[in-house]
Structure 1
Amino acid sequence: MSAPLVVSIPHQLGREEATRRLKGGLTRAAASVPVLKVDEERWEENRMFFRVRALGQAASGQIDVTDDQVRLEVTLPWLLQRFAEVAQTAIRNRGQLLLGKKS
């Protein structure tokens, strides 16, 4: 089994506001990526467990929200590992958009 893909995104929103912004965010993000399908998005307090599929491959992971950071960890099957760097950049960019300060 491969090492998980980990993306940490700092924020200044506090845990509650960051969690509020992220709820449903995976499903919304998948809508803009035709090859990505969300099988599960389940929240337990400030932790989300998820399962997604892309290119016929399944991946699962979790997102932990703290007062100053969101940490995503996902284990990718070998086929999707080839796209890990691209995925990491896309996740970080989307996360920064969701968690950026809004006036």
Structure 2
Amino acid sequence: MMQIALPHSLGKDEVRARMQARLGDASGKASELIGGMAQVETQWNDADHLTMTVSAMGFTIPSQVTLEDTQVLFDVDIPAGLGFARGMIEGMIREKGEKLLA
């Protein structure tokens, strides 16, 4: 399990609104990043918790996103076969998350 914290000063309502507005094209954006077919499934469990599952290249990467007052937490369950890509996955989450929160 890898946890990534992205700090923000937007408030949970603004972060939630931004995420909801941009999640619609998540599969298309993931495919562009990975260079192939990727699927992203998202489901809001409640106002502050999102389940996100990315499937690509035969792997499924489940994650939980928690909105907090001053940060967004990503708990990512990286499969054993993708341990080599841990740094790349973290880098993509940080880059895309920071753009969202900027």
TM-score by length of 1: 0.83
2:50 maps to what in 1? 48
Structure 1 residue 27 displacement after superposition: 4.9
Distance 1:78 1:5 in 2: 12
2:17 aligned partner: 20
- Paired residue total: 96
Secondary structure at the residue paired with 1:48? Answer: strand
Report the secondary structure of 2:69's partner residue. Answer: coil
Displacement after TM superposition at 1:24 (Å): 5.3
2:95 to 77, 93, 96: 93
Output one character per residue of 1:31-73: Cα deviation in whole Å (capped at 9) or x when no partner: 12324311x2111211101222121111211000011100001
The alignment-based identity, stated in percent, is: 27
Determine which of 82, 85, 88 is the counterpart of 1:80.
Answer: 82
1:63 corresponds, among 65, 68, 76, to 65
Q: Distance in 2 between matches of 1:27 and 1:81?
A: 28
**Where does structure 2 lack aligned partners over 5 or more consecutive residues?**
none
CA distance in 2, matches of 1:70, 1:47: 10
Equivalent-residue separation in structure 1 for 2:12 and 2:65 (angstroms): 12
Give me the whole-angstrom Cα distance separating, in 2, the residues matched to 1:54 and 1:63.
Answer: 19
Where in structure 1 do 4 or more consecutive aligned residues deviate above 6 Å? Answer: none
Gaps of 5+ in 1: none
RMSD between aligned residues: 1.6
